[in-house]
Structures are given as structure tokens and as C-alpha cells.
Amino acid sequence: MTIYKYKDTGLLRKLCSIHAPSGEESAMKDFLLAYISENQHRWKTRPEIIEGEDLHDCIMLRFGSPRTAVFAHMDSIGFTVRYHDQLVAIGGPDTDGPHLLVGEDPLGPVECCLRTTPEGHLFYDFPRAIETGTSLVYKCNFRVTKDYITSCYLDNRLGVYNALKLAETLEDGLIIFSTYEEHGGGSVPFLAKIMVEKYNVRQALISDITWITDGVVPGKGVVISLRDRNIPRKTYLQKILSAAVGSGLPHQLEVEGAGSSDGRELQQSPYAIDWCFIGAAEQNVHSPDEKVHRADIDSMIDMYKYLMKHL
């Protein structure tokens, strides 16, 4: 019987339940700053913490002399309340089903049901009007079985969890918690500026969650994405693949024509930055039931620990 290595599902459960759709990442920022403050004394290296109004709700952690940066986006998909009983999507949420949504407006907590018309228009069912501009997210139903974790927002709270596990032993590297990834981006440009101009780091790994496909199966290891809508530079991919093989850790390769990540904005930044998306794959993408195999979580964390040493 498999014993999984990273067992503190309580932290992951907590992360998955934080209300932080794109534009409202401050709750994630607050949680992470408190978590770092409480836990860094147990970490091998104490990081410099870079945050403040110049970074909006983003956080950067510098460990030692960084050569590579890990990006993990904090925001999630969700919905904005319009008027009448209309909703507008934040990012690309799954709208196929009467999903439970939660949020809060000045009149108090909200728990309502998503309703989608055949034409794709989105509404909420709730006994009273919800204030215009209120954001709603999936209600978190976090489930752990022997081999799987199922929850909303494993994309990308699992990427954040991976970064926090990595932080425990990291000696040299940047960990960057970004915002707005699910909805148009906008924080990576200023994060990249600091990363290059202040820390002279030009290599990045994107700690994010990808998809189970006909070439990627659950339990076979973390996925190294050779491309999605964007194409990383071949020389960097080869460096990573060679290290991944050297690690002896299980991993899978993906090649996609669609999908995107914080890597896109690194690619388009005014700096020559190499990037690669590496993350566990999930089923039921962008739904309340995102499902990841626990072996792939172990593999993801171990691969990041290895790569951050060897790149």
C-alpha cells in the first residue's frame, strides 16, 4: 500500500477554501503572510519577504542567491454579481451544473445556486438580491481518499501548497505568489521587472495545475509541459528534461495547443526569461470537483525540490 509523503492535507484544505477570485487576492496574501511568519523558523533558509503597495497583493520570497523563480498564482476563477439575478464569469469556470456558490455582501453571507441557461447565460438563485459587484466562488467541499484529493481550486491552491512545501528546504531561489492569472493577467509584468532588475533571475518554473488528457494519466507523476498556447525555448526545456531524468522521479510530458499560464506573460515581458510549466494534472478542470492523484502531488513537490537545486 502506498504511503504518501506530503500528508498535511489540512493546509491544502485551508488554502482551497479561501475566497480570492481574480482581483480579490488580499485574503490569500493575508493568509500567506501569517503562515510564513509562523512557519519560517522551521525552514532551512529564512527568506527575505518582498511585499507592499508596489506589489499590490503579490508576495515574493527570496531565499539565498536565487537562480530560478517559482511562480504560483493565488487567484481563482469565480463569478461577479451583476444586477437583477445575473452573473458574469471570472476566468473560465465550469458552469455545467447547479454548483453551490458562496460569498458575502453587506447584508451578510451568501450561499446560492448557479443556474445556466441553454444559451449560456448565468444566474443565481437566492431569496434576496445580492449586491452588485459581489464576487462568488464555488463552495469548498474538500475530499481526501486513499489516492485522490478532490476540491474546488486545486488549480492553483495546490501550486501554492507546492511552493510552501518547497520553501521548507529551499536554499537558493525566488518564490513568487502572483495575482490575476485566471483573468487576463497583469501582475507578472511588474513581478518580472523586480525578478530581473533587482535579483537578476532569468529562469522560471510555473507551479500550476494542468489537465488529464489522453496522454497524461493520474498517478504517473508530475507533468512537464513542453508547450501550451505558448512555446518555451527549447534549450531551457532540454536543461529541465535532462535534470528531470537525472532526478529519477516519475514525470510525464505534455504537448498542448491551448491553455496558458503565468509563463505567457514572462514570455512577453521586456526581459529574456526562460520559463516552463511543471505541475500535477487534474480531472474536472475549473469545476468544484477538481481531482488530483496524491502520487502526483508528491512527485510535483519532489521534482521542484530537485530542480531548484539543479537548474
What whole-number distance in Å separates Cα of residue 118 and Cα of residue 49? Answer: 48
Sites for a second copy among residues 30-59 (CB under 8 A): 53-58
CB 226 within 8 A of CB 275: no
The answer to whether residue 84 forms part of the interface with a second copy (CB under 8 A) is yes
The C-alpha angle with vertex 238 and arms to 235 and 243, in degrees rounded to 5, equals 130
The answer to whether residue 157 forms part of the interface with a second copy (CB under 8 A) is no
Q: In this chain, which of 8, 141, 229, 242 binds a second copy, going by CB under 8 A?
A: 229
Q: Which is nearer to a second copy, 265 or 289 (CB)?
A: 265
Burial class (CB in 10 A: 0-12, 13-18, 19+), 260: middle
Q: 111 pairs with which residues across the strands? A: 102
CA distances from 95 to 99, 256, 281 (A): 8, 23, 21
Catalytic residues: 181
How near is the Cβ of 214 to a second copy at its closest, in Å? 7
Q: In this chain, which of 33, 144, 226, 243 binds a second copy, going by CB under 8 A?
A: 226
The maximal CA–CA distance of the chain, rounded, in angstroms, is 59
Helix count (H) and strand count (E) of the chain?
7, 19
The answer to whether residue 68 forms part of the interface with a second copy (CB under 8 A) is no
The answer to whether residue 271 forms part of the interface with a second copy (CB under 8 A) is yes
Three-state secondary structure call for residue 241: helix
How near is the Cβ of 268 to a second copy at its closest, in Å? 5
Residue 208 is labelled as binding a ligand = yes
The answer to whether residue 83 forms part of the interface with a second copy (CB under 8 A) is yes
For residue 173, give the amino acid letter. Answer: G
User: If you count them, how many residues does the chain have?
Assistant: 311
What whole-number distance in Å separates Cα of residue 153 and Cα of residue 87? Answer: 19
Quick one: which of 260, 244, 254, 256 has its CA closest to 300? 244
Q: Which is nearer to a second copy, 117 or 145 (CB)?
A: 117
Kindly determine how many residues on this chain lie close enough to bind a second copy according to the rule CB under 8 A.
59
CB 200 within 8 A of CB 244: no
Q: All 3 cell numbers of residue 229? A: 498556447
The answer to whether residue 104 forms part of the interface with a second copy (CB under 8 A) is no
Query: Would residue 64 be called left, alpha or beta, if left means φ above 0 and alpha means ψ between -120 and 50 degrees?
Result: left
Sites for a second copy among residues 115-134 (CB under 8 A): 132-133
What whole-number distance in Å separates Cα of residue 152 and Cα of residue 264? Answer: 24
How near is the Cβ of 169 to a second copy at its closest, in Å? 28
Region near a second copy per CB under 8 A, out of 100-108, 162-170, 257-265, 282-290: 257-265
Q: In this chain, which of 231, 242, 245, 246 binds a second copy, going by CB under 8 A?
A: 231
Sites for a second copy among residues 6-25 (CB under 8 A): 22-24
Region near a second copy per CB under 8 A, out of 141-149, 152-160, 182-190, 284-292: 182-190
The answer to whether residue 88 forms part of the interface with a second copy (CB under 8 A) is yes
For residue 238, give the amino acid letter. Answer: Q
Residue 183 is labelled as binding a ligand = no
* Known binding-site residue numbers for Zn(2+): 73, 155, 182, 208, 286
Binding site for a second copy (CB under 8 A): 22-24, 26, 53-58, 80-84, 86, 88-90, 132-133, 135, 180, 183-187, 189-190, 192-193, 202, 214-215, 226-227, 229-235, 237, 241, 253, 255-257, 264-265, 267-272, 274
